[in-house]
Structures are given as C-alpha cells and as structure tokens.
C-alpha cells in the first residue's frame, strides 16, 4: 500500500491504518524517545503520547516533506514537552558545574558498540542529552534549539560542547574498563 493511501486512511480514522503506521514507526520512534528520556517506562509514555498526537493531528500533515520527518518532529517535541513537564530542563540544571576535562587525543572507538554509545548518551544530564540529540542526531541548528528549549543560542552551543566533553570522558572510561 502506498504511503499516501495509508495517510488518507489515517485521516479518515481507519484503525487498520493507524495500526500499520504504529507498527512501521514504533521501533524507530522508541529509539528516539530513549535518546531523550533515559528511563524506559518514561520513554514508553512519550511513545504513547507521541502516537496519540500523530493521530489527533494527522489532518495537519499537508503532504509537503516526508511523513517520517513529520512524525519525527512530533516525537522530538513530545519528548521535550515531557522533559519540561518533569522539570528536567530547569535553568538550575542548565547552569550546574560538571568536572570537565579536555582530551587531546581522541580514544580509539573501534571497540565501542552502538549500544555502548547509547548507554553513554543516556547517562548525560537531561539538558545535555537533549541538546546533543537535537544538534548531533536531529540536525537542528543551535538557534533552533535555543528557540525549542527557551535558552540563548550560546547556551545551546555551550551545552553541546559540555555534552561532547562528558561523552568523551565516559567513552574513555569505558574503554579503559574494557581493557
């Protein structure tokens, strides 16, 4: 079945079409949710809320741009909203100090699996994880991130830099542990 017909059936409220959209996108969107929300049960809540928004707002999908991209954007916004509701993006956390080290040499990443890297990302403080995901994974600009999170663009840049430092430190520790 074509994507266009599937979207049309969702707009008509057809349950089989909603089920097919869910089955097609749930695994990918769950991975996205887990990148933003470290707790599995919270990520499941975000997944459920995201699909609810998709089916309620499906009429707003104009057909311009990819359907998957539209869904991804809804899920990113849903995850950020969830974090705001849980007060995980407070200014206090934004300004907290973390021990930072800069490594001149980058570690050899050949022994790091994708699961190892996802674990390291999930251990980042919430705001750092959100900025890292928005910039490095989703491709948002720091200006867009600032608008989404209601922070200055320079703060977004700072949190991305700190997230990279924290990830580098954690990956180095993981590599040393695995030796």
Q: What would the pLDDT profile of 134-166 be if each residue is shown by its tens digit?
A: 999 889 999 999 998 989 999 999 999 999 999
pLDDT tens figures, 1-42: 689 999 999 999 999 999 999 999 999 999 999 999 888 999
3-85: what CATH class? mainly alpha
Instruction: Report CA 62 to chain centroid distance, whole Å.
Output: 24
Q: What is the pLDDT of residues 48-81, one digit of tens each?
A: 999 999 999 999 998 888 999 999 999 999 999 9
Count of other CB atoms within 10 angstroms of residue 40 = 12
Quick check: 142 and 153 in contact, CB under 8 A? Answer: yes
Residue 109 has pLDDT above 90, yes or no: no
Residues whose CB is less than 8 angstroms from the CB of residue 13 and which lie 6 or more positions away in sequence, other chains included = none
Handedness of CA 172, 107, 117, 112 (dihedral sign): negative
CATH class of the region 91-178: mainly alpha
> Do the domains spanning 3-85 and 91-178 agree at the CATH topology level?
no
Per the structure block, which two tokens stand in for 127? 């705001």
Q: Where are the domains of the chain?
A: 3-85, 91-178
Question: What distance lies between CA 65 and its chain's CA centroid?
Answer: 20
Position 123 pLDDT exceeds 60? yes
Convert 157-178 to b/e letters by CB count within 10 Å (16 or more is b).
bbbbebbbbbbbbbbeebbeee
Q: Tokens 């050899």 sit at which residue? A: 108
Query: What is the model's pLDDT at position 112?
Result: 74
String of DSSP letters for 85-124: HTTTT-HHHHH--------SSPP-GGG--HHHHHHHHHTS
- Banded model confidence at residue 175, pLDDT cuts 50, 70, 90: confident
Q: Which of 58, 69, 76 is nearest to 9 (CA)?
A: 58
pLDDT digits (tens, 9 = 90+) for 80-105: 999 888 765 554 444 444 444 444 45
142 contact partners, CB below 8 Å, separation of at least 6: 135, 153, 154, 156, 157, 160
Per-residue pLDDT band for 108 (boundaries 50, 70, 90) equals: low
């Amino acid at each position: 079945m074509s994507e266009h017909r599937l979207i049309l059936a969702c707009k008509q409220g057809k349950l089989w079409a909603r089920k097919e959209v869910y089955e097609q996108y749930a695994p990918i969107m769950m991975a996205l949710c887990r990148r933003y929300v470290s707790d599995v049960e919270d990520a499941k809540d975000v997944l459920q809320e995201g699909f609810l928004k998709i089916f309620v707002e499906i009429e707003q999908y104009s057909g311009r741009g990819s359907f998957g991209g539209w869904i991804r954007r809804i899920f990113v916004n849903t995850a950020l909203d969830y974090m705001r509701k849980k007060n995980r993006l407070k200014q206090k956390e934004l300004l907290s100090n973390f021990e930072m080290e800069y490594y001149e040499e980058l570690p050899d990443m050949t022994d790091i699996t994708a699961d190892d890297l996802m674990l390291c990302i999930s251990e980042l403080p919430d705001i750092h994880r959100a900025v890292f995901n928005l910039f490095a994974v989703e491709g948002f600009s720091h200006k867009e991130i600032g608008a989404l999170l209601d922070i200055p663009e320079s703060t977004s840049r700072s949190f991305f830099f700190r997230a990279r430092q924290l990830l580098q430190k954690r990956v180095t520790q993981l590599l040393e542990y695995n030796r």
